[in-house]
Amino acid sequence: MSPLAAGDPSLVMSVSEQVLFWTVGPIVVIAASALLFAKRAVVTACSVMVTMVGLAFLYVGLEAPFLGVVQVVVYTGAIMMLFVFVLMLVGVDISDSFIETIRGQRWLSLLLALGLAAVLGGAVWRASFSGVAGLAQASGGNNPGAVAELLFSDYAFTLEVTGCLLVIAAIGAVVLTHRVRLTAKVTQADRARRRVRDGLHLTPPPAPGNYARHNAADVPALDASGQVIEDSVPEVLRMRGQVHSLHGLAQDLVPGDVPPDEEVKP
């Protein structure tokens, strides 16, 4: 007989808690497993967000509504957003390669992870719990108030130290990402002067879709003679090869849509 089935009634979940746990728990685990299986980092970040929100629900179920809210605000709102910002900075399209560079690393890692799972699961399985006291008395119906009272009395010094830590972390981030400027800053006046000197296009470049049959950003503009101006499409779209050619557009058009005297130039 497993110690899990001990007789204490406080060790049995209420029905509502069971529903919460068995609904949110699998979602949390499945979303977290994207860390292992998703190829693209953005997919991973989004599913980790799902995990964080699910954990916030569980925190509320564990009589910690304050921490549930903090979880959503800090983890989902700040930390994961920071991750997504950095992903945008280093390129959203980066995907992890699954090619092994150290021989046998994958199997060894899996073995270690399974070993850790066995140790943790075994410890939890073997432990016997006397009963759940519940937080009704400690919180007194006002969990944020009770947490605040403890935070600003017993833990006041710890709070101040963590405040220092946050300041140091902010300064550290600024120092780490600071770049010393090696060349003079190029101002708008410099750019204008260079354009005149080098005989480049003096006016602002045409926006995509100008005089074309379509004003979407991925359709290049046309010049006076109906020729395509490739530079009018944003460079990102050109690099990704997502430019919508006029030729392709002409094939997409419904035949009756085009008046016969207006031929679409490929």
Partner 1 sequence: MTVSAYLLLASVLFVIGTATVLLRRNSIIVFMGIELMLNAANLAFLAFSRMWGNLDGQLAAFFVMVVAAAEVVVGLAIIVSLFRTRRTVSVDDENLMRH
Site for partner 1 in 152-171 (CB under 8 A): 155, 158, 162, 165-166, 168-170
When asked if residue 64 is in the footprint of partner 1 (CB under 8 A), the reply is yes
How many residues interact with partner 1 (rule CB under 8 A)?
A: 84
Tell me the window of 10-18, 181-189, 194-202, 257-265 that interacts with partner 1 (CB under 8 A). Answer: 10-18
From the CB of 219, what's the least distance to partner 1, in Å? 32
User: For partner 1, which is the closer residue by CB, 72 or 233?
Assistant: 72
Which residue type does 103 have? R
Three-state SS at 45: helix
Q: What is the C-alpha to C-alpha distance for residues 52 and 49, in angstroms, rounded to an integer?
A: 5
Of the candidate residues 62, 69, 217, 264, the single one contacting partner 1 (CB under 8 A)? 62
User: For partner 1, which is the closer residue by CB, 164 or 186?
Assistant: 164
Phi-psi sector, 209: left (phi>0), alpha (psi -120 to 50), beta: left
Q: List Cβ neighbours of 146 (8 Å cut-off, separation of 6 or more).
A: 138, 139, 140
Residue ranges in 67-96 that form contacts with partner 1 under rule CB under 8 A: 67, 70-71, 74-75, 78-79, 82-83, 86-87, 89-90, 94, 96
Sign of the alpha-carbon torsion through 39, 44, 47, 52: positive
When asked if residue 192 is in the footprint of partner 1 (CB under 8 A), the reply is no
Of the candidate residues 25, 210, 213, 238, the single one contacting partner 1 (CB under 8 A)? 25
Residue ranges in 214-253 that form contacts with partner 1 under rule CB under 8 A: none
Residue ranges in 136-155 that form contacts with partner 1 under rule CB under 8 A: 137-139, 146-147, 150-151, 155
From the CB of 234, what's the least distance to partner 1, in Å? 22
How distant, in Å, are the alpha carbons of 2, 117, 170 from that of 232?
70, 56, 40
Binding mask 35-54 for partner 1 (x = CB under 8 A): xx----x--xx--x--xx--
Of the candidate residues 23, 88, 93, 129, the single one contacting partner 1 (CB under 8 A)? 129
The answer to whether residues 28 and 37 touch, using CB atoms and an 8 Å cutoff, is no
User: For partner 1, which is the closer residue by CB, 109 or 215?
Assistant: 109
Three-state SS at 2: coil
When asked if residue 112 is in the footprint of partner 1 (CB under 8 A), the reply is yes
DSSP annotation of 14 reads P
User: For partner 1, which is the closer residue by CB, 91 or 260?
Assistant: 91
Q: What is the C-alpha to C-alpha distance for residues 226 and 175, in angstroms, rounded to an integer?
A: 51
Q: Exposed e or buried b for every residue in 157-187, given b needs 16+ CB within 10 A?
A: eeeeeeeeeeeeeeeeeeeeeeeeeeeeeee
From the CB of 123, what's the least distance to partner 1, in Å? 8
How many Cα atoms occupy the beta-carbon half-sphere of 10 within 13 Å? 7
